Structure 1
Amino acid sequence: MKKILSVLAALTLTASLLAGCSGKAASTPAETAGQAESASAAESTMESAAETETVSQQETTVAETEGSQPAEASGEETAVRVMALKGPTAMGMVQLMDTAEAGPVGGNAYEFTIAASADEVTPRLVQGDADIAAVPANLASVLYNNTEGKIQVLAVNTLGVLYIVESGDTVQTAADLKGKTIYASGKGSTPEYALNYILSSNGIDPEKDVTIEWKSEHSECVAALSSGEGGIAMLPQPFVTTAQAKNDSIRIALDLTKEWDALQAGVETPSALITGVVVVRTDFAAENPEAVSAFLDSYKESVDFVNGSTEDAAALIEKYDIVPAAVAVKALPYCNITFIEGTEMKEKLSGYLNVLFGQNPKAVGGKLPADDFYYSR
């Protein structure tokens, strides 16, 4: 029970970037930027800094069986309970979700649940009520450390979704941020670490050379952005698209994923700015290796479909009440939905976690995860 309580304390970081892409702006959902504090963050619980206006805590269950119990496997089928967040992680799964409505896929009888925030996912994963889940990258490391290896990462599913936007035309490169005021949410979490890394690597002292005004919600950043000339903010997708729909003067100045990649050029084992990953309970993976492999194959097909058929994918994204199709069509090219597993996953993710660890060990659960954190099939 003590260990469970310790793990549940990690909920305070659960609005990491991936969750950071879910939320509500007026009547349009967009994901929240998430907290990257570890279980020790229970000492001072932070309200999700990237949380947008009120987010419905509804869960949408797809292909669920009668009642609230997971689907019973029939014959050789394996019941697999999957959770994703209302944003890019769920967007990448929609084709698989749609196919699963007709019955088992690759021998797996799926039950999908879309959650509004990661604090809905974490307890169900830890308590064994979910088998596979899409979570913020740093949260995966925190859970691994606090459950003593009972969580493994299967694949990277979302790269960076953070963007520097402005209502003017003054920022063309990261160096142009020097001397500017930047509105942002996510202090003490992944957004802050990513921004600090980009700034410091471009010779800008985050403490002295820029003014970063931290807000509790994306909506506050947009309001501040619109209130003054030359306003600059850091926002995640698809919230950027939602903000642009309300204010056509807002433009994307910098893609922080591309800025990160540029800094990694020439590095022997380059890392990447990573928002989300897919994890599995270690026990479930050990007991059902074929089911896990089948899931990975089906999930990769779904990601390829979403990235290759934007309009069809957007229709499914609206079907599952993630974001409206009109928003999805414009946001998908900027959401960096991907599928990376195996050696490449380990190289990119371990490098990313190392950057976070260098800024704040709590962001990854106090220590870097061991090799068994990275699932290999």
Structure 2
Amino acid sequence: MKKILSVLLAVTLCTSICLTGCQKSDKSEKNSKDSNTEKELVDVKLNEVAHSIFYAPQYVAIEEGYFTKEGIRLECVTGFGADKTMTAVLSGDADIGFMGAEASVYAYQEGANDAVVNFAQLTQRAGNFLVARKEMPDFKWSDLKGKDILGGRAGGMPEMVFEYILKQNGLDPQKDMNIDQSIDFGSTAAAFSGGQGDFTVDFYKLLHPHLFIMLVYIHT
């Protein structure tokens, strides 16, 4: 009987040791995999031209961990203007710039040693609004004649899209109105809130809460 108990006890101890060993081995293997996954993540810094609802697909991908699943640890910062975003890319402060395609053309024309390549598209429309100081339910494009308008930086996508729309509606941007192109992209809303201009062209996220959105959307 003692021999049987001794054998059972020995078997039990052996079994316990094996199970514990397996658990440690599995846990060690899991930690190793987690560690490897952590090591395999590539750090990528993305500089976006503006933080806007129009770029929602990108933010969803970040929040849902899509980049992490692809082995990318993404850091997203806001440049507040294509010129600043491009500067960040050219200086090496950012790996990728999210901005209008025109910025890479300007950089190339200015003789950038390492040409920036446009490789992906996220939006198909210009997310710009024309903003007035008061409600204009019967607005016509001709109402802009003789007015002062904050268009944003010269050569910037919002300003160029605005001029395109004006021409499509029979207006001459240079003769029919005064478009101020001296204020950079990130400062037009503040300037307009401070009393400059009769109208301003801006992105939704930059609008001051007390300003009235007159035109819902500028299509191209």
Query: Scaled by the length of structure 1, what TM-score is found?
Result: 0.38
Residue number in structure 2 paired with 1:81: 44
CA distance in structure 2 between the aligned counterparts of 1:138 and 1:157, rounded to whole angstroms: 14
2:193 equivalent among 205, 214, 222: 222
Residue number in structure 2 paired with 1:141: 105
User: For residue 121 of structure 2, what is the amino acid of its counterpart?
Assistant: A
Distance 1:193 1:105, change over 3 A: same
How big is the shift at 1:156? 3.4
How many residue pairs match? The answer is 175
Distance 1:214 1:170, change over 3 A: farther
**CA contact under 8 A between 1:73 and 1:109: conserved in structure 2?**
no
How big is the shift at 1:184? 0.6
Residue number in structure 2 paired with 1:168: 135
Per-residue CA deviations over 1:253-274 (Å, capped at 9, x if unaligned) read 3522x2x3xxxxxxxxxxxxxx
Matched, 1:186 2:157: no
How big is the shift at 1:204? 1.3
**CA contact under 8 A between 2:154 and 2:181: conserved in structure 1?**
no
Distance 1:201 1:124, change over 3 A: closer
Residue number in structure 1 paired with 2:175: 208
Superposition pairs of residues 115-134 of structure 1, within 5 angstroms: 115-117=78-80, 121-123=85-87, 125-126=89-90, 130-134=94-98
Distance 1:104 1:211, change over 3 A: closer
Residue number in structure 1 paired with 2:203: 236
User: For residue 202 of structure 1, what is the amino acid of its counterpart?
Assistant: N
Distance 1:192 1:129, change over 3 A: closer
Structure 1, gaps ≥5 residues long: 1-71, 261-377
**CA contact under 8 A between 1:174 and 1:254: conserved in structure 2?**
no
Matched, 1:251 2:203: no
Superposition pairs of residues 228-377 of structure 1, within 5 angstroms: 231-240=198-207, 243=208, 245-247=209-211, 250-253=212-215, 255-256=217-218, 258=219, 260=220
Structure 2, gaps ≥5 residues long: 1-34
**CA contact under 8 A between 2:45 and 2:95: conserved in structure 1?**
yes
Query: SS at 1:97's partner residue?
Result: helix
Structure 1 residue ranges, 4+ long, deviating more than 4 angstroms after superposition? 72-78, 118-121, 127-130, 147-150
Matched, 1:153 2:119: yes
CA distance in structure 2 between the aligned counterparts of 1:119 and 1:81, rounded to whole angstroms: 20
User: For residue 60 of structure 2, what is the amino acid of its counterpart?
Assistant: Q
How big is the shift at 1:199? 1.6
**CA contact under 8 A between 1:83 and 1:133: conserved in structure 2?**
yes
Q: CA RMSD in A?
A: 3.7
Distance 1:115 1:168, change over 3 A: closer
Per-residue CA deviations over 1:178-205 (Å, capped at 9, x if unaligned) read x241321424222332222222222212
Q: Which has the larger radius of gyration?
A: 2
Q: Whose RCO is larger (CA < 8 A, sep 6+)?
A: 1
What is the identity percentage for the equivalent residue pairs of Structure 1 and Structure 2? 15
How big is the shift at 1:134? 1.3
User: For residue 205 of structure 1, what is the amino acid of its counterpart?
Assistant: D
User: For residue 132 of structure 1, what is the amino acid of its counterpart?
Assistant: I
User: For residue 234 of structure 1, what is the amino acid of its counterpart?
Assistant: V
Residue number in structure 2 paired with 1:98: 63
CA distance in structure 2 between the aligned counterparts of 1:212 and 1:126, rounded to whole angstroms: 30
Per-residue CA deviations over 1:53-87 (Å, capped at 9, x if unaligned) read xxxxxxxxxxxxxxxxxxx9759945151413241
How big is the shift at 1:221? 1.8
How big is the shift at 1:164? 1.5
Distance 1:147 1:159, change over 3 A: farther
CA distance in structure 2 between the aligned counterparts of 1:131 and 1:73, rounded to whole angstroms: 23
